[in-house]
Copies of this chain bind each other. A is one copy, B any other.
């Protein structure tokens, strides 16, 4: 077993990154509660710095670098939000960042990385190309690799999101998050089970990128081969650290179709008047698909990010 961040470590991470992130609000919708038959508290990480919870893990990882490491900067590969988050965290800390991005990444996410001061190195849109290109960059620059999700410091940072939810004083019966690489879900599960062991942790995952669901059921890590879903933030395969956390602390994973994701996404736009990216809508879709299971509960849902190409909304 790999080591997991403890509650004390997560609390220290929150203090460490506090001045670099937003304490995001929790929002509610009477209309959605009525449809769902439960009381939902949406933690709005779409309002987070760089428009996604990824700001937390990246800020934490950069803040924990040694002075020697800072000299050569940081590097990563990411299809999007981690890229922008790491570029911003590095710039704020006055160090360089090298971001390996698939050439197929949405234009809005490339633009964001550049605007935050990151240097983009493009590669073919597959995991192998990402990894070899990243290795070249690290060899050339001496930068420290900050993985997008399967990394202690990143999980510790993402765990601060649910820490803020618990600080609100709401006694959640269930907390839901989307799962891609598993950094947010892993961090959420750790914090929540440390603070409230009775609270259920349930993930939502797209049917077209259901490696976490299959891994969870098979109790062994099964990588995703050809993911295909509108939820572009969840295309990545689950990491080993996060798989171990999930097997210990997550209660269930529900899958949903792209059609269900789009319907929930539209519902959030129409009823809550907020902009979210498709990945964000996955937990609500999972709740509405299985709503008998949540009747009368207090449910926390993490809205993970709001970086969507507005010219390509699916409605």
Contact = CB atoms under 8 A, between A and B. Distances in A.
Interface of A: 25, 27, 46-47, 51, 108, 266, 269-270, 272-276, 306, 310-311, 313, 315
A108 to B, nearest CB: 8
Contact of A275 (B27, B51, B275): B275
Contact of A315 (B25, B51, B275, B310): B310
A266 to B, nearest CB: 6
Given A25-B25, A275-B275, A310 B270 contact: yes
Contact of A310 (B46, B47, B51, B269): B269
Nearest to A112: B270
Contacts of A306: 273
Nearest to A47: B273
Given A25-B25, A315-B311, A274 B273 contact: yes
Nearest to A311: B315
Contacts of A25: 25
Contacts of A108: 270
Pick the most buried of A273, A276, A306: most chain B CB atoms within 10 A of its CB: A273
B313 A310 contact: yes
Nearest to A51: B273
B273 A273 contact: no
A110 to B, nearest CB: 14
A273 B46 contact: yes
Contacts of A273: 46-47, 51, 274-276, 306
A269 B275 CA distance: 7
Nearest to A31: B115
A272 B310 CA distance: 13
A266 B47 CA distance: 16
The 4 lowest CB-CB distance pairs between A and B, nearest first, are A273-B306, A273-B275, A46-B273, A269-B275
A19 to B, nearest CB: 13
Nearest to A25: B25
Given A273-B275, A276-B273, A266 B310 contact: yes
A51 B275 CA distance: 15
A88 B315 CA distance: 27
Given A269-B275, A273-B274, 7 more contacts: A25-B25, A47-B272, A269-B310, A270-B310, A273-B276, A273-B306, A310-B315
Which of A25, A270, A306, A315: most chain B CB closer than 10 A? A270
A278 B152 CA distance: 44
A248 to B, nearest CB: 33
22 contacts: A25-B25, A27-B47, A46-B273, A47-B272, A47-B273, A51-B273, A108-B270, A269-B275, A269-B310, A270-B275, A270-B310, A272-B275, A273-B274, A273-B275, A273-B276, A273-B306, A274-B274, A274-B275, A310-B313, A310-B315, A311-B315, A313-B313
Contacts of A46: 273
